[in-house]
Structure 1
Amino acid sequence: MLEGPVEIYCDENGAWSAEAPKCKEITCEIPVIENGFVHDKKLKYNEKDVLHFTCNPSFKPAEVRPSTCAKFGSRAEWSPTPLCEPIKCRLSVALEGTSYDPAYRNVFSPGDTLRVNCGEKYWISQPEYNSAVTTCNPDGEWTIRPVCQEVRCSTRQPHVYRFSIYWGQIIKWMRL
């Protein structure tokens, strides 16, 4: 990196307007990471070096990409910034046939529970259940995927090659 003025000139007295700039090695310092720690004990990292860090329990890296020492204009910094964030379970927008209790939240901490209610024509986890309770795990995943699925019946019946069944339609079999 260039350290000093980008431009200097010779004035009318034959003197330079400033000291000549110097080239400085691109380095990043070891960062302080709230709720985490750096594995290496280096004091400085060179350009393109990767930072290896771990977050404390109940926290995870904010970015999936590794933090690398990079030049930005006239300074060097970590990209992306090494941060640890609390582990959370998240809900996406409720799909048709799915509602939640509590309905006012979409971010949950480990240990929090959520009731998933499925509307008519929908089920969760097993065909006979239209409601289930799921818990946010310490890894940020739910114990049961909180999404209702549309009820579908199998069309595999002996001696039937093709037919369409609609929800709620009753099929009666006759013996010949």
Structure 2
Amino acid sequence: MYQDRTDISRINMAADKHDIYAGGQWSASWQPPYASAGTLSGPGWTVELKGSTGRQIKDNFRYTSAARNTVAPEFATATPLSAVTAPDGAAALRIEQARDDQMVHHYRVDITDTTTGTKVVSSKVLSDFYFMPRPNVLDIPVPDAVAGNTYEAKVVAVDAYGNASPEATLTFTR
């Protein structure tokens, strides 16, 4: 912190080897003390305090609701959804990850069995933004999918600011 600004460093505090979970076990002891102080996870942020009075500083503050990011995520292809069969033989909806100028946070996923009129999935699904590298696709299980039934999937990508992509749709038969 300085007189006229605050600099914020983005630090990945999960930089120790104990944070790796593979094969059902942690790779090392998860107890502190940690060997690492973290790693930089991107460029830092500077919050500037412009003005000589509290009112001027508040009026000049740039991180306000009016100045929020308004860029919506977008799907990279015209057909980002596909029906796939999971390794266990179950039906799944595959979503090719959308892109955003900052970060896709989650997807609103609705899947309806149009044969019966029953909604089988209605959920927010995190984009796995917390994994590096982020997976290119997400597979969403379609519970109790019946062979021969037709399903309609609707998916919307949403960023951390609530900006939403146009809806992607797919109709498929199990």
Highest RCO, 1 vs 2 (Cα 8 Å, sep ≥ 6): 2
Structure 1 or 2: more strand by fraction: 2
When the two structures are superposed, what TM-score results if normalisation uses the length of structure 2? 0.23
For the pair shown, which has the larger CA radius of gyration, 1 or 2? 1
